[in-house]
Structure 1
C-alpha cells in the first residue's frame, strides 16, 4: 500500500505521527465505452469553448460562477487556505460507539504509526478499546474539511470519514404514517425466522456474483465471439417475480421458517420451493378435518 497523506493525530497535548492509507479497493471489471456500430473507442476530451483546443490537465483551473460573475481559483489559491495547510487530525471529542449512525459512514482509511516508537499510537488504541468509545476528529484532505470517526479494527486505528449532518436525507414515507397492527403471533413467528437465520458474520462467505458472472461472460465472448450462447454459459434463468404485497403474512413467515430450518439441517434448499409446503399443506389438511367432523 502507498500512503496518501501524512500528519499527526492530536488530542490534548498528545501528538501521534501517522501515515494514512486507503482501507478499501475496487475490484470491479474495468470497462470503457465504444461505438456500437463499429466498436470504435469513445474518448472524452477537455476542450476549451473559446479556442476549441484540447487543454492538458495541468493547465486546468477551477472556477465559481454565481450567474453574473466568474471567479477563477488556481492551485496556489487552494494551497493558501489555512485548513489545507494543516497536517493535523484533531480529536474533538470521544463519544459512545452506538451514538454514531452507520448511515453517516463514508470512506475508510488505515492509520499507521509514523515514528520510531508507536507507544502513543498503541496507548490511544487501547484507550478506545477499553472505553468502548470512538473519537470524533476533524482534518483536511484533498481540498475538503472532513469529519471522521476514529475507531479500532484489530490492531489498527481506522479513520472513517463521516457525512455532514445536512448531507443525510430525511426519510418521510406516507405509508409509515398509517397505524399498522402487528399481532403477537406475527411478531413471534418473525422472531423465529430471525433466529433460524442467525449466525456469526463471516464476510469471506460472500462474493460479488455480478462481477463473477461478468468475467465469465467476457471469457465466453473471447472464446466464442458475439455468437456466445448465454443460456449454455449460465443455464436457463427464471424470470424474477415482481414484488407485491404478501396476502397471508403468517403463512409466508411459517413457510420461510420451515425452509430455513430444512436448509440448516442439510436438506436440499432448492427442492423446498418446488414442493410449495406453504400452499399445499393447508389444502390437504382442510378436507381431512371435514371428513372427521362428518364421521363424528
Structure 2
C-alpha cells in the first residue's frame, strides 16, 4: 500500500491505495479539479459564476458541477429543505465564507429556489441568491478520486478528505469517529468495506458572533446555525450522498430519517 496526502478543499486529502505514485497523482488531479470548479472563494469557479449571474440567466458549467448541483437539489427536495446549498448568504454574514468583491449580498429565503439544472451541462439562475457546495462537493471529490483509482486497476484503497471517506476492495478499513464533546478522543470505532462514511459536527466551527452562537453548519429550513453538541455520521455507497445527508441528520436529529433508506444510507448520532 502507498499513502500520500495533499491539501485540497480546505482540508487534508489522504489517499491510501494498492497502486503506484502516478496512479495516486491522477486521483489527486480529480480532487484538484473539484476544488477549482466549485470553490466559493475563486472568482473564476463555476459556483462563483452562478452566484454572479442574474435571475433568468442560463449558464454552461462543467459536467461535474452540474452533477453536484443536481444531486444537491435532489437531496434538498427529498429532505424538505433540511439540506439547502443556497445558505451561502448566512455563512458570509457570519464570516464563515468571504464576501465576494463588489457584490451586494442577497437575502436568504430558505424556500426560494435559486437555480435549476436543465439539460446537462446547463444551469439556469432562477432568483438572486448565492450557493455554496462545501457540504457536498468534498464527498463528490472523494468519489471521483476512488473512480480514478479503480479505472487505473487499483484493487483496494481509501480516500479520506478531512473525515469524509470512501473505501473499496476486499478488505475492511478501521475508522474512528471523534467524540463531539471531546474531539481529541474517539467516540466510535467501526469498519468500512466498499462504502463511504461522512461526519458533520459543529465542534471545530462553533463560535460566538454578534452575541449569538453560530457555526459553519446551517439548518436549510430556516437559516439557523447548527450548534448542538452532537455529531451525525452517515454510511452510504457514495461519499457525496453521505456528505450531504450528514446535514439532514444533524439538523433533524433523526438517525432514521426517511430520506436515508431511499438513498441506501444509514446513520448514527453521537
TM-score normalized by the length of structure 2: 0.20
TM-score normalized by the length of structure 1: 0.19
Task: Name the larger-Rg structure.
Answer: 1
Bigger relative contact order, structure 1 or 2 (CA pairs below 8 A, ≥6 apart): 2
Q: By percentage of residues, which structure has more helix?
A: 1
Q: By percentage of residues, which structure has more strand?
A: 2
